[in-house]
A and B are shown apart, each in its own frame.
Chain A
Amino acid sequence: MAELLNNEGASGLIPEETVERTERRWLFAMATVLGLMLAVVVFTGVTQMMNPLSDVETINPATLHLQGEFVESNLGTAVETDGSITLRFLAEQYTFVPQCAVVPAGTLIRFRLTSPDVTHGFFVGTTNTNAMVVPGYVTNVMARFEHPGTYTMPCDEFCGFGHHAMAASVVVVPKEQFTKLRPEERITTCGAQ
Chain B
Amino acid sequence: MSAGNGSGRSWGFFAVAMLTGVVALSFGFGFVLLPKYQGTQGPYSAKDSLYHALGLHTHGKELGSVQPPLKVPTYIVWTDATIRQAMGGDAKRGEFIALNCNACHVEQAKSTEPWIPILAGLDRLVTYKQLDDFRSGTRLSGPMSAIAQSLTPQDYADVAAYYASQPGMPENTGERMPHSHRTYRNPDPLQRLIFAGDPKRGIAACASCHGPGGYLIGAPALTNQNAAYLGQQLQAFAQGTRANDMNMPMRTIARLLTPEEMKSLASAYAKGLAELQ
B is a partner of A? yes
What is the interface of chain A, defined by CB distance below 8 A to chain B?
16, 20, 23-24, 42, 45-47, 49, 51, 54-57, 59, 62-67, 69, 71-75, 78-82, 84, 86, 90, 92-100, 108, 110, 112, 116, 138, 140, 142, 154, 160-162, 164-169, 191-193
Beyond A45-B37, A54-B35, A66-B72, is A166–B64 a contact (Cβ under 8 Å)?
A: no
Q: Residue B204 contacts which of A51, A75, A138, A165 (CB distance < 8 angstroms)?
A: A165
B71 on interface, CB distance cutoff 8 Å: yes
The reply to whether B59 and A116 form a contact with Cβ atoms under 8 Å apart is no
The reply to whether B71 and A97 form a contact with Cβ atoms under 8 Å apart is no
How many residues does chain B have at the interface if contact means C-beta atoms less than 8 Å apart? 62
The reply to whether A42 and B2 form a contact with Cβ atoms under 8 Å apart is no
The reply to whether A193 and B258 form a contact with Cβ atoms under 8 Å apart is yes
B167 on interface, CB distance cutoff 8 Å: no
Q: For A100, what are the chain B residues with a Cβ–Cβ distance below 8 Å? A: 202
- Which residue of B57, B65, B67 has the most chain A CB atoms within 10 A of its CB atom? B65
Q: In the complex, what distance in Å separates the CA atom of A59 from the CA atom of B123? A: 29
B103 on interface, CB distance cutoff 8 Å: no
User: B14 CB to closest chain A CB, in angstroms?
Assistant: 14
User: A59 CB to closest chain B CB, in angstroms?
Assistant: 8
Q: For B40, what are the chain A residues with a Cβ–Cβ distance below 8 Å? A: 84, 108, 142
Q: In the complex, what distance in Å separates the CA atom of A56 from the CA atom of B54? A: 8
Interface residues of B in 190-232 (CB under 8 A from A): 196-199, 201-205, 207-209, 213-214, 216
Q: For A23, what are the chain B residues with a Cβ–Cβ distance below 8 Å? A: 1
Q: For A74, what are the chain B residues with a Cβ–Cβ distance below 8 Å? A: 65, 67-68
Instruction: Knowing that A46-B33, A65-B247, A69-B63 touch, tell me 19 more A-B residue pairs with CB under 8 angstroms.
Output: A23-B1, A51-B34, A54-B35, A55-B55, A57-B59, A62-B78, A65-B246, A67-B70, A72-B73, A72-B247, A80-B65, A86-B65, A99-B202, A112-B59, A112-B60, A161-B208, A164-B196, A166-B199, A166-B204
Q: Residue A161 contacts which of B71, B73, B174, B238 (CB distance < 8 angstroms)?
A: B174
Can you list 18 A-B contacts with CB-CB less than 8 angstroms, sorted by A residue number?
A16-B2, A20-B1, A42-B29, A49-B37, A57-B58, A57-B60, A65-B246, A66-B77, A78-B63, A84-B40, A94-B204, A95-B203, A97-B248, A97-B249, A100-B202, A161-B205, A162-B209, A165-B204
Q: For A20, what are the chain B residues with a Cβ–Cβ distance below 8 Å? A: 1-2
Task: Closest A residue to B64 by CB, please name it.
Answer: A81
User: B175 CB to closest chain A CB, in angstroms?
Assistant: 10
Task: Closest A residue to B36 by CB, please name it.
Answer: A46
Q: In the complex, what distance in Å separates the CA atom of A189 from the CA atom of B74? A: 27
Q: In the complex, what distance in Å separates the CA atom of A55 from the CA atom of B213? A: 38
Q: For B202, what are the chain A residues with a Cβ–Cβ distance below 8 Å? A: 95-96, 99-100, 165-169, 191
Task: Closest A residue to B74 by CB, please name it.
Answer: A65
The reply to whether A46 and B37 form a contact with Cβ atoms under 8 Å apart is yes
